[in-house]
Amino acid sequence: MPKEIVSVEKVLNSRCSSDVEGGSKKRHWGTFKNVQPSQEMLKSIINCCKVPQYSDGKLEFWFKDNYLFLGFKKQKDPFKERMLHVESGMQHEAVYLSCAALGVGTCIHNQGINGTDYEDKTATASFLIMEIVDSYETGQFTTKAPGPEKPFMVGKNLGAPVRDSEVECLPELERLTLYYRSGVSAQEKEISQLLWAAKGRTPHYVGSSPWGLTIPTWAHGQGYTDVYLVKDGKLFRYVNWTEVYPLNKPLKRGLRYLKWRLYGDSEVHIMGNPTHDVSFLRNVNLASQLDGADAGIILCRNEQTGRALWEVGYMLENLFLQAKSLGVSYGSKFFSGDEISELGKMGVADAVAAFLL
């Protein structure tokens, strides 16, 4: 019997956090066994943490009390520190994806919204890594869309994402790069898939809410970041939940909206459904900010915290991985202060980085 291909898309769709408890007390989808993974698995996970970097700063990892800590050597330069927060976020996601690909579980244990200093290092997260029981009816992996309680609704402007392929995840995850010039040009189908990889909906639950994503979120929060698409001189916002509360407008809808945006208020999810779509915002000319690229996916943060920058890193890691699976050419960039200001004037607030197509 041939070995099952653990594809890029299958891993993105199956990735979830795990918990030590089960039943009604369970806060996360997966359930740990009290069994440590093999040293070979841990080495593979650490190898995937060697993410591509924009900065010349030093990313760090260390083990303490059976937890894997990730972070970076302290920086005095605020711009370089911002880069390192994003790069450390890429490491966080690399741990999640490699654990999922290997069939083991993990969960972030936070170190504060901006990290915690340990001597000359800043820790951004710690991870408990253990073996898990099967997370889905089909085993460790699933290729299903969200549902049935909250059925996935195909968007008007994007087709349904692919949740499996023939491209093995782990080898690609071990050799990601900031750019790739030898692929094909991304068309609408590939761009749609990339948007899903960045911050698309998946079938697992977060607590009691059907808010599974291709990325982890801090305390179930849904709105620390936004994703924009620029294509053919038009600006779109990526939408992964039917728009009961449109996120591109000011926060003027009271406490309930604020709770949904930041914390994933469990009462609010009953009002919408998981989806995959883009919403047109306006015509723009961002050729200069996108270094002349024909199209780009812009990743923005909605608060001035490390956790928002880490989430940008999660999305970048997924975009690099998905692009490799699709075989498309891409570039990427980290925005300067002047570019962030220019983009803000054009309606793209607090841009951090872009994935160029």
DSSP characters for 8-42? Answer: HHHHHHH---EES--GGG--SSEEB-S-PPPHHHH
> Which region, left, alpha or beta, applies to residue 314 given φ > 0 means left and ψ of -120 to 50 means alpha?
alpha
Beta strand 121-131 with 67-73 is antiparallel
pLDDT at 210: 84
pLDDT at 247: 42
pLDDT band at residue 249 using 50, 70 and 90 as cut-offs: very low
Residue 1 confidence (pLDDT) above 90: no
pLDDT at 129: 96
In percent, the amount of the chain with pLDDT more than 70 equals: 90
What is the arithmetic mean of pLDDT over 227-239? 97
pLDDT band at residue 34 using 50, 70 and 90 as cut-offs: confident
pLDDT at 263: 47
pLDDT at 2: 60
- Tell which residue, 255, 242, 330, 322, has the closest CA to residue 293: 330
pLDDT at 179: 97
pLDDT at 7: 98
Share the mean pLDDT of the chain.
90
**Largest Cα–Cα distance of the chain, in whole Å?**
58
pLDDT band at residue 295 using 50, 70 and 90 as cut-offs: very high
Q: Token digits for 220?
A: 């179930």
Tell me the per-residue pLDDT of 75-92, one tens digit each, with 9 for 90 and over.
Answer: 999 999 999 999 999 999
pLDDT at 28: 80
CA distance 60 to 54: 15
Q: Could you give all domains of the chain from N- to C-terminal order, each with its CATH number?
A: 8-131 (3.40.109.10), 153-356 (3.40.109.10)
Residue 261 confidence (pLDDT) above 70: no
CA distance 78 to 72: 13
Q: What is the pTM of this model?
A: 0.93
pLDDT band at residue 303 using 50, 70 and 90 as cut-offs: very high
Tell me the per-residue pLDDT of 127-171, one tens digit each, with 9 for 90 and over.
Answer: 999 999 999 999 999 999 999 888 999 999 999 999 999 999 999
pLDDT at 8: 98
